[in-house]
Amino acid sequence: MAQCKQSSPEFIQNVFSPMVAVLCSEDAEQMSRKNNLTFVELVQPFCRLTTEAHIRDPGNFAHTVQKLRITVKDMNMTNYQPTLAKRLLNEAVSSALPPCIETGKANVVTIGDYDLQLSSSTPWFDAYRDCFLEVAAPSNHEFLKHFLASVFVVSSSHTDPIEEFTKLSQQQHQQQHQLPSKPPKWFCPNTFKYYVLLHDVVEGEEEKAEAVYQSMKSVYGPNACHLLQINSRSVHTVSTISSDVPGALPDPWSQFISKETQPNDAGEADSAVQNDDSFPSHVTEGQNCDNHSNSLVAVETANEAMEIAEADDKMTSSILDHPLADSPAVPTNNSDDDMCSDSETETTEGTASHSNDTMANGSNGRQHGWCLTVSDHDRLRIFIHEFLVRGLIPWAERMIRTLNDQVTSRRGVGKSLFKKWFGGNKPSEKPTNNTTVVYTSEAPEMQMRRLADLAFMFQLYEIAYQTYHTLKRDFNNDHAWLAYAGALEMASLSVFMQGSQTQRQYPHHYIDSAITTYLNTCRSHQFATRATLLSTEALKSKVMYAEAAQQFIKMTSEDSDLRSALFLEQAAHCFINMKVPMVRKYAFHMILAGHRFSKSGQRRHALRSYSQSLHIFKGKDWTLAEDHINFTVGRQSFNIKQLDNASSALRHLLCRESQQTTSQQSAFLKEYLFVYKQHLQQSATLTSLPQLPLPLINSNDTKTWLGRVDQRGENLQAVAVNSFDDDSPSAAWQQLEELLVRNANSGILPASYKPSVQCFSSKTLNSGSPMAIAGECVTVEVSLANPLKIPVVLTDMALIWNFFPGLFSDDKNQDDTPKAVTNEQLNTAKNTVARALIETGVIQEVILEPLETKKVHLNLVPLQTGELHITGVGYSLGSRSPNQLTTEQRPSFASSITVHGKQNLEVQGPRLNTTKEEKCSKMYGPDRRLDLQVVPEMPLLEVEFHGFPQTLACGEVQQTTIQVRNTGCDPLHRLTVAATQWDFFSFGHCDLPPDSSSPYQVIPDQTDPLEPERVQQPRGYSPVAEVPIPGSSLESGASVTVPMWIRGPTSTDTHHIDFMFYYESVSKNPPLSYRVLRHRVTLKTCNSVSVRAVAQPQVDKQNTKTSESLTVTMEVENMNKTQDSTITEVSVLQVSCASQQWILQHLSTQRNVDIKVSSQESVFLCFKATRCQDCLKESGEGSIKFSNVTFDQHQISSSTPPCSDFHFKSLQQSHTDRQNIQQIDPQTSPQELKNNNQSSLSLIVFWKGYQVDETGCSCAIVGQHHIHMNSFGVPVTSPPVPKIRMELSPVVFIRDSNSAPNQITNEASKSQLVRYCLVHSPQMEHDFHKSRLCFVSVKLVLHNCSLEDVECEVTTRPEVTRVDVSSVSDLSATDKPKSQTFTWSGLVLTRVRIPIGQTRTVPATACFCSAGVYNLCNFQVSAALHEGATVDRMFTVQQQTSPSIITIYEAP
The mean pLDDT of the chain is 77
> Angle of helix 461-477 relative to helix 481-498, nearest 10 degrees?
160
Q: How many residues does the chain have?
A: 1452
Burial class (CB in 10 A: 0-12, 13-18, 19+), 1227: exposed
Is residue 495 exposed (0-12), middle (13-18) or buried (19+ Cβ within 10 Å)?
buried
Query: Quick one: pLDDT at residue 214?
Result: 92
Measured CA to CA, the distance from residue 228 to residue 204 in angstroms comes to: 12
Q: Are strands 1420-1425 and 1436-1437 parallel, antiparallel or unpaired?
A: antiparallel
Q: Give kind and range of the element (H or E) at residue 705.
A: strand 703-705
Between CA 377 and CA 390 the distance in angstroms is: 20
In this predicted structure, the answer to whether residue 1417 has a pLDDT above a threshold of 50 is yes
Residue 1367: band (very low, low, confident or very high) from pLDDT cuts 50, 70, 90:
very low
d(CA 433, CA 1235): 128
Residues in CB range of 1007: below 8 A, 6 or more apart: none
To the nearest 10°, report the CA torsion of 1002, 1007, 1009, 1010: -60
The pLDDT assigned to 725 comes to 52
DSSP strand pairing (778-785 vs 703-705): antiparallel
pLDDT of res. 710? 58
Beta-strand relationship, 1039-1047 and 957-966: antiparallel
pLDDT at residue number 342: 35
**1344 contacts 1350 by C-beta, under 8 angstroms:** yes
Q: Rounded CA gap, 217 and 211, in Å?
A: 10
Q: Is the peptide bond before 1279 cis (omega within 30 degrees of 0)?
A: yes
Cα-based angle 474, 477, 482 (whole degrees, multiple of 5)? 75
Q: pLDDT by residue (tens digit) across 35-93?
A: 888 899 899 889 998 889 999 999 889 999 998 999 999 998 888 888 888 899 999 89
Confidence of residue 1290 (pLDDT cuts 50, 70, 90): low
Write down the H helix ranges in 16-60.
26-33, 39-43
Secondary structure (H, E, C), 1270-1307: CCCCCCEEECCCCCCCCCCCCCCCCCCCCCCCCCCCCH
Question: Which element (helix H / strand E) includes 611?
Answer: helix 603-617
The pLDDT of residue 974 is above 50: yes
Sign (positive/negative) of CA torsion 1121, 1125, 1131, 1134?
negative
- Whether the CB-CB separation of 724 and 703 falls below 8 Å is answered with yes
- What pairs with residue 1025 in β-bridges? 977
Lowest mean pLDDT among 128-142, 596-610, 867-881: 867-881
Output phi, psi for 334, to 5 deg: 55, 40
Q: Choose among 1118, 1091, 1012: nearest CA to 1266.
A: 1091
For the ranges 315-319, 614-618, 805-809, 1055-1059, which has the lowest average pLDDT? 315-319
Neighbouring-strand partners of residue 1165: 1114
Q: What is the pLDDT of residue 807?
A: 56
Nearby residues of 590 by Cβ (< 8 Å), 6 or more positions away: 568, 569, 572, 609, 610, 612, 613
pLDDT single digits (tens) 1312-1344: 888 888 898 888 899 888 888 899 999 989 888
Predicted confidence at residue 982, as pLDDT, reads: 77
CA distance 278 to 299: 29
Of residues 476 and 312, more confidently modeled: 476
Q: How far is CA 1320 from the centre of its chain?
A: 81
Which stretches within 1157-1239 are classed as H helix? 1175-1179, 1203-1224, 1230-1238
Backbone angles phi, psi at 346, to 5 degrees: -80, 170
3-class state of residue 121 by DSSP: coil
Helices first, then strands: H and E counts in the chain:
35, 57
> Is residue 217 within 8 Å of 225, Cβ to Cβ?
yes
Residue pair 1267/1154 in contact (Cβ under 8 Å)? The answer is no
Q: First-to-last CA distance in the chain? A: 111
Per residue in 661-712, pLDDT tens? 888 888 888 888 888 888 888 876 667 788 898 899 999 999 998 877 654 4
548: Cβ–Cβ under 8 A, 6 or more apart, which residues? 1, 535, 536, 539, 540, 570, 571, 574
Please give the pLDDT value at position 619.
Answer: 79
Residue 701: helix, strand or coil by DSSP? helix
- Which carries the bigger pLDDT value, residue 474 or residue 718? 474
How far, in Å, CA of 1057 to CA of 1082, rounded?
6
More confident residue, 1324 or 1305: 1324
How far is residue 930 from each of residues 759, 803, 905, 1059, 1160, measured CA to CA in Å? 11, 12, 9, 27, 58
Residue 468: predicted pLDDT: 93
Instruction: Report the percentage of the chain scoring pLDDT > 70.
Output: 75
DSSP state of 1348: S
pLDDT band, very low/low/confident/very high, at 240 (cuts 50, 70, 90) = low
Phi, psi (5° rounding) for residue 153?
-120, 125
Res. 149: pLDDT tops 80:
yes
Alpha carbons 1448 and 1323: distance in angstroms, whole number: 6
Name which residue leads in pLDDT, 236 or 722: 236
Query: H-helix or E-strand containing 128?
Result: helix 123-135
CB 1040 within 8 A of CB 1030: yes
The sign one gets for the Cα dihedral 410, 392, 14, 96 is positive
Mean pLDDT (whole number) for 519-533: 92
pLDDT of residue 319: 29
In the predicted model, what is the mean pLDDT of residues 187-205?
A: 91
- Name the amino acid, one letter, at 360: A
* Residue 1157: other Cβ atoms inside 10 A: 21
The 10s digit of each residue's pLDDT in 1060-1085 is: 999 999 988 888 899 998 888 888 88
Distance CA 37, CA 46 (A): 14
Residue 1078 three-state SS: strand
Instruction: Inform me whether the pLDDT recorded for 394 exceeds 90.
Output: yes
With contact defined as beta carbons under 8 Å apart, do 241 and 247 qualify?
yes
Judged against a pLDDT cut of 90, whether residue 389 lies above it is answered with yes
Mean pLDDT for the stretch of residues 1436-1452: 80
Where residue 1084 falls (left for φ over 0; alpha for ψ -120 to 50; beta otherwise) is beta
Q: Cβ neighbours of residue 166 under 8 Å, at least 6 residues apart?
A: none
How many other C-beta atoms are found inside a 10 Å radius of the C-beta of residue 998? 15
For 343, phi and psi rounded to 5 degrees? -80, -10
